[in-house]
A and B are shown apart, each in its own frame.
Chain A
Amino acid sequence: MVHPLRETAAVSGIGETAYTRGTPKSGLALQLEASLAAIADAGLSPRDIDGVVPYFPGGGIAEDFIANLGLPDLKLSLFVPMGGATCVAAIQSAAMAVASGVCNHVLIAVGRTGYSGARVSTRLQQFPQFALAAEFEAPIGMFAPAQLYAQGARRHMALYGTTTRHFAEVAVVTRQHAILNGNVVMNKPLTVEEHHASRMISDPFRLFDCSLESDGGAAVIVSRTDRARDLRKPLVTIMGVAEGHPESPASIAQRPDLLEFGLAKAAPRAYDMAGVGPRDIDVAEIYDCFTFTVINQLELLGFCKKGEGGPFVMDGRIGLGGELPINTHGGLLSQGHVVGLNHVIELTRQLRREAGRAQVKDAEVGLVTGYGDMGDGSIAILRRAA
Chain B
Amino acid sequence: MSTTPVAAPTSERPLPIPTRESQPYWDGMREGRLMLQHCAGCGKVRHYPRPVCPHCFSMESTFKKAPTGGTIHTWTVCHHPFNFFFKASAPYIVALVDMDAGVRVNAPLRGVNEADLKIGKRVRLDFEPVNKEVTLPFFVSD
Contact = CB atoms under 8 A, between A and B. Distances in A.
A337 to B, nearest CB: 14
Given A253-B104, A254-B47, A21 B3 contact: yes
A53 interface: no
A139 B13 contact: yes
B91 interface: yes
Interface in A112-126: 115-122
Interface residues of B, number: 49
Interface stretch (A96-104, A200-208, A294-302): A200-208
A22 B2 contact: yes
B141 interface: no
B63 interface: no
Interface of B: 1-7, 9-10, 13-19, 22, 47-48, 73-80, 82-83, 86, 89, 91-92, 94, 96, 103-108, 114, 118-119, 130, 134, 136-138
Contact of B75 (A132, A137, A144, A151): A151
Nearest to B92: A141
Contacts of A306: none
Contacts of A163: none
Contact of A253 (B80, B96, B108, B114): B96
Interface in A129-166: 132, 134-144, 146-147, 150-152, 154-155, 158-159
Interface in A244-291: 251, 253-254, 258
Contacts of A199: 79-80
A24 interface: yes
A202 B83 contact: no
Contacts of A158: 74, 118-119
30 contacts: A115-B3, A115-B5, A116-B5, A118-B7, A122-B7, A132-B48, A135-B48, A139-B15, A139-B130, A140-B107, A140-B137, A140-B138, A142-B106, A143-B82, A144-B80, A147-B94, A151-B74, A152-B74, A155-B73, A155-B74, A199-B80, A200-B79, A200-B91, A201-B79, A202-B76, A204-B76, A253-B104, A253-B105, A253-B106, A258-B73
Given A139-B130, A151-B94, 5 more contacts: A116-B5, A122-B9, A141-B92, A158-B119, A200-B77
Contacts of B75: 151, 154
A22 B3 contact: yes
A258 B82 contact: no
